[in-house]
Structures are given as C-alpha cells and as structure tokens.
Amino acid sequence: MNVFDAIIEILKREGVEFLSCYPTTNIIESAAAASLRPIICRQERVGVGIADGFSRVSNGRRLGVFAMQFGPGAENAFSGVATAYSDCVPILLLPWGHDNYRAGIPPYFSSVTGYAPVTKHVEQINMPGRVADIMRRAFSLLRMGRLGPVMLEIPRDVSVQTVEQLDYEPVKITRAAADPRDVDEAVRVLLSARHPVIHAGQGVLYAEAWPELLEFAELVQVPVVTTLLAKSVFPEDHPLSLGVGYRAMTGTSFHFLKQADVLFGIGCSFSRHHQSAMIPAGKTIIHATNCAADINREYYADHPVIGDAKLVLRQFIEAARERLGKQGRRGNGEVTAEIRQIKEKWLAEWMPKLTSDEVPINPYRIVWELMRTINPAQTIITHDSGSPRDQLAPFYQATVPRGYLGWGKSHGLGTGLGLIMGAKLASPEKIAINIMGDAAFGMVGLDFETAVRNKIPIITMVFNNFGLAVNTEGMPISHERYRSRDTIGNYAEMGRAMGGYAERVESPAEIVPAIQRAVKVTREEERPALLEFITRQEISYSLIQAL
C-alpha cells in the first residue's frame, strides 16, 4: 500500500468514521476505496468545523479528521484550526504537502511551520517507514493530556511511496488522579467557606465527569457555574445551577461569582479572555486541571490540584464524605432558595424582551419560543459569534451534556455551521440547530448546500437584521456617510435554491409553527431546513457585566 492507503487503514483501526475534506488530495480516493466516507465541504474552514463538532459531541472518544490540498487548501483552513486550538478540541488534520524539493522555498506554504502556533503538535510524514510511529504519536496526543488539534503534513512525493509493512495497534488511553494530600486540603477549604462556588470547565465534559460533578455539588450543596465552553455539563434546570458565566452571564452567575469567597475550578483554564468571566480579586482559588501549564497562568492558585477531572472529582467526593458523612449536606435549602430568588428576579427583568411582540422580531423572543418548542434533552444547539451567542447562551437552558456547544475564544464568523453538521453526524438521533446572524451567513452560507448534498438534516436559524448591528458603536462615521453597516439578502430563497427546506419568518406569531415545521422536515424527510427570521437590531450590551 502507499502512504495514503496506510494512513486510511490506521484511521479505520482507530475508529474514525468519516473523512471531512476538500479536494484536491488523493487521500480522498484512498478513503473511498477503503469505504471510509468522504464528506466534501464547500470551503476548508467549514470542513474543519465539521470535524471539530464531531469531536466535541463525542467528547474526543470519536475523532473528527479533516484533509485538504497543499497551498491554498491548507492556507484557507487556518481560521477553523485556530478555533479548535483555542477551544482545545482534538481533531486530526491531514494537509497534503508540496513535494519535498520545494520545502521551505517561498512562496510555497508549509503547514509544518505555518500551523505550529495553532496546533498541539505538527509534524511531517517524511518517510513511508515512519507512518505507523508518527500516527501512533498523533493519536496519543489527541487522546491524552490537554487536548487540541494535531496536524500531520504529507508531502506529495512521499504520499505515493510504498509502505512495506504496517505494524500498528490502536493507542490506549491512561489518566492520572491527584495527590490525595492536595485533595484533602482543598476539600477542607471548600467545606469551611461561607460562599463557595464550583466553576466547571469543558475538561469535565472531555473526562465525561458530569455524573461526578452532579454528585459532588449535591453532596456539598455548592452552586455550579459553567464556562461558555462547558455549558451543558451541569443540568441548568437543577436547583444548584447558576447557568453560564462569561461576558454575557446569567444574573445568578453574576451574583454568586461576585459574593464567592472560595472558587473551585474543575476542568477549566481560568483564562483572562473576553469570553470568560473575569474573577474579582480577593477570592481563594482551588484549581483542578489535567494541564499543569494552566496553574497560576492567569490567577494565583491557592490550592492547585493536578489530575483528570473524573478521577479528581471522585477523590473530592470521598474526601467530603469523610468529613460530612455519607449524606453530606443534602436537605439544606438555603442556597437553592437564594438561587431561585435571584433567578426569578433576573428573568422578570428580561421578560419584556423575551416575550416581546415587536416587529421586526426581537431575537430574544425567538430564543424564548425555541425553548418552549423543543425538548433540550433531545437537541444539540450552537450559536455563532457576535450577538446570536450573547442572546442565546444566558437564556437557553441546557439539560444534558453536549446538548449545547459553546465556543468563542477564537470566534470566526460562520463557525457554528460546520460545528452543527459535525454534531449531527455524531448524534443523528438529536435535533441539531445552529443560530447565526446574517453576517455569519454571508461568510459560510453556501455550505448549507454541503448539508443538503450529504443528507445532514440540520436546522439553520438566521437572524437577519439587515446590518452589522454589533458594530453600531464602532462604525458611526462610516455608517452615517456610506451606510457601512447595512447588509441585504433573502436567505430563505438561497436555502431553497440550494435544495433545502426554507421559510422567511416576519412576525412573532409565526415563530413556533415555523420551528415545528422545520423539525418535522428534518426528521421525516431528512432534509436540512433554513429559517430566516427578520429581526430588529437588538444590541446585547446590557447583558455584559463586569464583576
């Protein structure tokens, strides 16, 4: 077999289920010949997003893979890879490379050097005899430690060479628990706190530690706030849930993070980022993570704990039981009563927007009606960057792990479309919805045809306000003189032209029936649906709060 055939054989042994790709690269033919389904996108960064969404929903247990051509193909994928890197998503990237004799010679693009800043590991398969070793190293890095994309460039002249013997066994995963002394001291501090809060990150999702998180929170009766990337790891209809904590946080998250004296971060990086909650000074921080590089990176960790989130939480549970007894603090309703009171007050303040009868439609009304129409336990939903993210994340109530895909530390417009296609491939039984603005649709909208052509029945909801509303304060002069924020388009017509089901919705009374019809089409006809909502230019600045 040649190098590409050997790589495909290894992918199949590692359980890879499809190849997201864009030609030209001969690995597509190798995949098809071996009955590994190629899914060809319209542009590379959406193809990366498909692999990304698949890996996220699978918690890295099943991996997304994306392959592209050398030169412009590799160059055009950068935005998608940067998003996966910033969100620590394990995907395998397989760019074809220029022939070796061109390596390092301008203007030929080198993926090895070009992608080094946005990958966990990048390497070139430079000899056919090294295929097994390099692939083994890649899958080990993809499955263990701090996760992230791994890229292997295959030069064109190497890809056609022969692999004489393929000696490859799938990698085994191992995880490490924490030092018991660190755990015992951290639990002592947490239990002695007056206003403790658990700050859960996506490491809990990748460790599949949501049962342990729920058990621990109930045992010690400590409320839980999640990062944007971890939204859904703790059921948001639970009495101890504070919801999401990032720049557009819930009222409960804002209240409890502000008053907290001890913050227990589990599976998070505690990064200072505009999509993260900024932690006020003066708090005692317990920081449990599997990545030592995150400890003390942005905030001082009073009690650092290194280990896998699932194993660490089990250690915390046992240590807490030793101090509190088997039943713990169950039955203490003071915390849950306070959460309920703050939540009710916060929602009451927002109810005029959430139930608005305005025309054009207020986007918060669409979010409210969506929650009342679908079952979140049977749904995977994601946003796009900008206003749709800030309008959806605080109010949508996620109840099952990976029922919500939050992202945004690197937030290229249009990312959500690829993510939701990958999510649907990972969980075909779920309703899969992405919400995007008209600017995001302008970036990647033609890849709705990818969903149609590949029979991936997603629902795309476009909030069309005919403008770059999020830039209202940033472009006053250019807009006044040249109407620079204005956009135009009938995206429902485009959806129909691409072969999907599509509607344009212009009044609040039409929201629920349109969503119901879209769900029916995706389930019964297995056809993607596009719902274009004509919305007002609602600016979400009033949501953004500084602790």
Supply the DSSP string of 245-268, one letter for each residue: -STT--HHHHHHHHH-SEEEEES-
Residue in 307, 472, 460 with CA at minimum distance from that of residue 387: 472
Residue 333 is predicted with a pLDDT of 85
State the number of CA atoms in the 13 A half-sphere of 191 facing the CB: 21
φ and ψ of 420, to 5 deg: -70, -30
Residue 411 is predicted with a pLDDT of 74
State the number of CA atoms in the 13 A half-sphere of 76 facing the CB: 20
CB atoms within 10 A of CB 316: 28
Report the pLDDT averaged over residues 100-110.
87
Residue 517 is predicted with a pLDDT of 98
> Which tops the pLDDT comparison, 386 or 169?
169
DSSP class of residue 171 equals P
Report the pLDDT averaged over residues 66-85.
96
Residue 119 is predicted with a pLDDT of 98
376-394 pLDDT, tens digit per residue, is: 999 999 999 988 999 999 9
Distance between start and end Cα atoms, the chain:
59
Is the pLDDT confidence value at 189 over 80? yes
Quote the mean pLDDT of the chain. Answer: 95
Residue 541 is predicted with a pLDDT of 52
238-281 pLDDT, tens digit per residue, is: 999 999 999 899 999 999 999 999 999 999 999 988 888 889 89
Distance from chain centroid for Cα 208: 15
Is the pLDDT confidence value at 364 over 90? yes
9-45 pLDDT, tens digit per residue, is: 999 999 999 999 999 999 999 999 999 999 999 999 9
Longest dimension (CA), the chain: 71
Helices and strands (DSSP H and E) totals, the chain? 22, 18
Is the pLDDT confidence value at 286 over 70? yes
Domains and CATH numbers, the chain: 3-159 (3.40.50.970), 180-338 (3.40.50.1220), 355-543 (3.40.50.970)
Q: Which two tokens stand for residue 532?
A: 């274009």
Residue 331 pLDDT level (bands cut at 50, 70, 90): low
Residue 288 is predicted with a pLDDT of 98
Q: Can you point out the beta strands (E) in 78-202?
A: 91-97, 121-124, 150-155, 196-200
Is the pLDDT confidence value at 54 over 90? yes
Report the pLDDT averaged over residues 524-546.
82
Amino acid at 114: G
> Which tops the pLDDT comparison, 326 or 8?
8
The share of the chain scoring above pLDDT 70, in percent, equals: 98
Which segment of 216-230, 299-313, 332-346, 365-379 scores lowest on mean pLDDT? 332-346
473-487 pLDDT, tens digit per residue, is: 778 899 889 988 889
Distance CA 274, CA 249 (A): 12
Residue 224 pLDDT level (bands cut at 50, 70, 90): very high
Residue 408 pLDDT level (bands cut at 50, 70, 90): confident
Contacts within 8 Å (CB) and 24+ apart, 145-148: 145/290, 145/291, 146/88, 146/120, 146/290, 146/291, 146/293, 146/294, 147/60, 147/88, 147/89, 147/90, 147/120, 147/206, 148/84, 148/85, 148/88, 148/89, 148/90, 148/119, 148/120
Residue 332 is predicted with a pLDDT of 66
Distance CA 65, CA 85 (A): 14
